[in-house]
Amino acid sequence: MPIPANDAPLEVDCPQCGKRVPWGPESAYRPFCSKRCQLLDLGAWAEESHRISGESAMDEADIETLLAQADKDAPLS
């Protein structure tokens, strides 16, 4: 008797290496297959190899203006 699709454990592909990973508490690093793949992905985000496309919300001039204004504001007491 075939197992219904709803009873099959959910599996996803590791975003780093493509290995199949069960989606459940037994997979501590899900959706990654291992700590190594998780850290490789984090490193790619940190060095901006991975990024969400689109325009920046602020450019450096806006940030400088906000910092200058913050320096002028009185401290909270």
Contacts of 21 (CB under 8 A, 6+ apart): 11, 12, 13, 14, 27, 30, 31, 32, 33
Residue 17 assigned ligand-binding role: yes
Residue 21, judged by CB atoms within 10 A of its CB (0-12, 13-18, 19+), counts as: buried
Residue 33 assigned ligand-binding role: yes
Q: Which residues participate in the annotated binding site?
A: 14, 17, 33, 37
Q: Which residues participate in the annotated binding site for Zn(2+)?
A: 14, 17, 33, 37
